[in-house]
Amino acid sequence: VLSFRAVESQSEAQCAPVDSLWRRYSEFELLRNYLSVTYPHIVVPPLPEKRADFVWHKLSADNMDPDFVERRRIGLENFLLRVASHPVLCQDKIFYSFLTQEGGWKEMVNETGFQLKADSRLKALNATFRVKNPDKRFTELKHYSDELQSVISHLLRVRARVADRLYGVYKVHGNYGRVFSEWSAIEKEMGDGLQSAGHHMDVYAASIDDILEEEEHYADQLKEYLFYAEALRAVCRKHELMQYDLEMAAQDLTSKKQQCEELATGTVRTFSLKGMTSKLFGQETPEQREAKIKVLEEQIQEGEEQLKSKNLEGR
C-alpha cells in the first residue's frame, strides 16, 4: 500500500483535495490500463515491476525486501510525475480523481467502459500478419523496440549471474572474517594478526555489498528502458490494428461499389454464386434491382464516412 501527497486543486471552485490518500499497486495498474486504451497514440509511461525480475540470489525469494519496496515506491512516484508532466494525460479527469478522490475511484474508471475498447490479443496478432501496406515509420519503431527489449533482457540476465557470483564472494569473505575473529580469541601469539585479517575480510565483504546495492539502482534504470520499449511496442501494435481496420474498410467499400455498378449496368465482372443463380433461374425484376441498388448506395455512403473517420483516427 502506498501513500502520496495529492496535487493542488485545478480551480478555486473545486473543493481542496485531501492532503494524502492510499493507493494499491493494482490501482496504479488500472490507471495505466485506462490511459493506454483511452490514449492509444501516446507512449504511456511504464510502471515499475510488481515483483522482482532478473534478480540475483539474495533477492530472489524476497519481494517484500524493504529496499525493493522503496525502489518500487520511487518508481511509482516517477510514473505519476511523468503522467502529470504530459500535456494531454495531465488533463484527464480520471487521473485527477486518482490523485484527489479517496473513495469510489475504481467505480468511476469502470463506468468509462474503457475495457470494451481494449483490443484482443488474437485480433492484434491477426493484424500483424495481414496488414498489406504497413507504415515504414512504425515498422522501424517496432523493430527498434524489439531489439532494445532483447538486448536489455540479455544484459539484465548477465548482470544477475554476475551479482550472484559477487554475492558468493561476499558470503565467503564474511564467513572468513567471523572465523578469523573467533580464532584470534584463542591464539596468544597470532591473536592480533588474525583479528586484523578478520577485520580486512569484513571490510572487503562490506564493500562488495555496497557495490551490489548500487548496481541494483542501475538495474532499475535498465528495467525502465525495458518497460518503455514495451510501451512503444503497444503504440505500434495499435497502429497496426488501425491500419488493418482501414484496409478492411477500404476493401469492403470497393466491393460494395463494384456490386452497385454491376447491378446498375447489368454486367457481372467477377464470378459469384448469385450471378450463376441469376443465369440459371432468370434475372431479377427492375424493382428488386432498384431496391438492392438503394441499399448498396446507403452502405457505400456509410462506408465512405467510416473510411474517412478511420483515416482521421490513423493520422
pLDDT tens for each residue of 11-22: 444 555 567 888
Kindly tell me the burial class for residue 45, based on how many C-beta atoms sit within 10 Å of its own C-beta (0-12, 13-18, 19 or more): buried
- Is residue 209 a contact partner of residue 217, using CB atoms and an 8 Å limit? no
Q: What is the pLDDT of residue 280?
A: 44
Q: What is the pLDDT of residue 10?
A: 47
Q: Which domains does the chain have, with CATH numbers?
A: 21-127 (3.30.1520.10)
Is 130's pLDDT higher than 90? Answer: no
* CA atoms of 190 and 186, how far apart (whole Å): 9
Is 279's pLDDT higher than 60? Answer: no
Element (H, E) at 20: strand 20-23
Is 185's pLDDT higher than 70? Answer: yes
Average pLDDT score over residue span 222-226: 93
Q: What is the pLDDT of residue 123?
A: 75
Is 298's pLDDT higher than 50? Answer: yes
* Between 28 and 261, the higher pLDDT residue: 28
Residues 6+ apart with CB under 8 A from 293: 260, 263, 264
Q: What is the pLDDT of residue 16?
A: 55
Q: What is the pLDDT of residue 47?
A: 95
Cα distance from N-terminal residue to C-terminal residue, the chain = 40
pTM for the structure as a whole? 0.75
Q: What is the pLDDT of residue 5?
A: 55
Average pLDDT score over residue span 170-191: 89
C-alpha cell at 83: 503522467
3 phi, psi to nearest 5 deg: -125, 140
Average pLDDT score over residue span 203-217: 87
Instruction: Tell which residue, 3, 1, 145, has the closest CA to residue 80.
Output: 3
Q: What is the pLDDT of residues 67-113, one digit of tens each?
A: 888 888 999 999 999 999 999 999 999 999 999 888 889 999 999 98
Average pLDDT score over residue span 210-222: 87
Is 265's pLDDT higher than 60? Answer: yes
Strands 2-5 and 20-23: antiparallel
Average pLDDT, the chain: 83
Q: What is the pLDDT of residue 71?
A: 86
